[in-house]
């Protein structure tokens, strides 16, 4: 009769994924955020991998974790392996007959820049199923199943294949009722300055680049979402530093205005569109990108 011996088993895939992510991010906390689990779960998975290997892969200390020599030696192989797995998954997904588009975007971009363009996309591609995920950090398009990502990047730190959509130019905006009592740039000093926590240096950058003296550029109500700050500006709560691409609709509709001839400053960032590598893109993605890039 045929012999069917037990074969040696490797470690669980989840444990290897936890190690690769934690090693690449140099943090159990950052790895947990990327994987959508708790830091404790990452630690437990890594520990199970260390037990299987019979060797420590991380040094644990009060400030976090660092890789051991064994962990450092393994990392390039693990990164290449999970990149290859991501490529295989993307290739498998690209042959599906159902048309779907998964977009990852910075929350303010998803809320303020994208909606009007999604309306045009749906009109141009009525069979396309569109999903949007708002997230604070760009996804790894080599791994994660997003077709497009929309994020701001500094000009000198953008992905090599990113397509620029709009330079990040900033200038003060406010409700018409506030603009009516502002006649010169110096009048801003008598107003409440609305502050976005993500871009906390907006007023400092603008005052420096525009050569405008602001008495206390970092003082004022703070908001964790730029869209919240924008709504407060529309409601007349104060003056907001407007990011051109994000306030364009509110300006066009008259909900916000630019008081007097306000100077414009360039932050050095740009809103960029990134895609997976060429071999992992769906057949119609180019037409979708062209539609999104239209003004």
Residue 110 has pLDDT above 90, yes or no: yes
Name residue, tokens 């950052």: 30
Topology of 167-267 in CATH? D-Maltodextrin-Binding Protein; domain 2 (3.40.190)
Task: Report residue 145's pLDDT band, with 50, 70 and 90 as the boundaries.
Answer: confident
Which CATH code for domain 13-94?
1.10.10.10
Task: Report residue 103's pLDDT band, with 50, 70 and 90 as the boundaries.
Answer: very high
For residues 23-34, average pLDDT = 92
Percent of the chain with pLDDT over 90: 58
What pLDDT score was predicted for residue 45?
95
Percent of the chain with pLDDT over 70: 95
Name the residue among 105, 99, 186 with its Cα closest to residue 146: 105
* Chain segment 31-80, per-residue pLDDT in tens: 998 888 999 999 999 999 999 999 999 999 988 999 999 999 999 999 99
Where do runs of H (alpha helix) occur along the chain?
Answer: 13-25, 28-35, 39-53, 69-94, 107-108, 114-124, 176-179, 202-209, 226-234, 244-253, 285-293
Task: Report residue 168's pLDDT band, with 50, 70 and 90 as the boundaries.
Answer: very high
The more confident residue out of 7 and 249 is: 249
Dihedral angle of Cα 66, 69, 71, 76, to the nearest 10 degrees: 110
For residues 139-145, average pLDDT = 83
Residue 272 has pLDDT above 70, yes or no: yes
* Fold matches, 100-165+271-293 and 167-267: yes
Q: Is 253 helix (H, G, I), strand (E, B) or coil?
A: helix
Task: Report residue 283's pLDDT band, with 50, 70 and 90 as the boundaries.
Answer: low
Average pLDDT taken over every residue of the chain: 89
For residues 259-284, average pLDDT = 82
Q: Select the CATH number that applies to the domain covering 100-165+271-293 from these four: 1.10.10.10, 3.30.530.20, 3.40.190.10, 3.40.50.450.
A: 3.40.190.10
What pLDDT score was predicted for residue 192?
93
Rounded Cα distance between 67 and 132, Å, is 35
pTM for the predicted model, two decimal places? 0.80
For the chain, the domains span 13-94, 100-165+271-293, 167-267
The distance from CA 135 to its chain's CA centroid, rounded to whole angstroms, is 5
The more confident residue out of 96 and 162 is: 162
* Chain segment 185-227, per-residue pLDDT in tens: 888 888 999 999 999 999 999 988 888 888 888 889 999 999 9
Rounded Cα distance between 107 and 152, Å, is 11
């Amino acid at each position: 009769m045929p012999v069917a011996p037990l074969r040696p088993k490797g470690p669980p895939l989840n444990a290897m994924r936890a190690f690769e992510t934690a090693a690449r991010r140099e943090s159990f906390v950052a790895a947990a955020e990327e994987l959508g689990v708790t830091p404790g779960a990452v630690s437990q998975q890594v520990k199970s991998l260390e037990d299987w290997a019979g060797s420590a892969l991380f040094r644990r200390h009060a400030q976090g974790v660092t890789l051991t020599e064994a962990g450092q030696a393994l990392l390039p192989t693990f990164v290449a392996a999970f990149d290859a797995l991501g490529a295989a998954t993307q290739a498998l997904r690209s042959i599906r007959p159902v048309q779907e588009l998964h977009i990852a975007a910075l929350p303010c971009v998803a809320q303020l820049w994208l909606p009007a363009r999604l309306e045009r996309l749906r009109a141009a591609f009525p069979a396309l199923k569109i999903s949007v995920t708002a997230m604070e950090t760009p996804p790894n398009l080599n791994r994660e199943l997003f077709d497009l990502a929309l994020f701001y990047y500094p000009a000198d730190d953008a992905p090599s294949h990113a397509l620029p959509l709009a330079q990040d130019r900033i200038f003060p905006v406010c409700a018409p009722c506030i603009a009516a009592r502002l006649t010169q740039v110096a009048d801003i000093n008598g107003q409440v300055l609305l502050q976005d926590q993500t871009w906390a240096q907006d007023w400092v950058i603008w005052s420096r680049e525009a050569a405008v003296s602001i008495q206390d550029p970092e003082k004022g109500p703070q908001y964790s979402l730029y869209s919240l700050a924008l709504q407060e500006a529309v409601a007349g709560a104060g003056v907001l530093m407007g990011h051109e691409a994000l306030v364009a609709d509110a300006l066009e509709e008259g909900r916000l205005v630019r008081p007097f001839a306000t100077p414009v400053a360039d932050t050095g960032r740009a809103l960029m569109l990134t895609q997976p590598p060429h071999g992992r893109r769906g057949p119609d993605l180019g037409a979708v990108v062209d539609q999104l890039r239209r003004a």
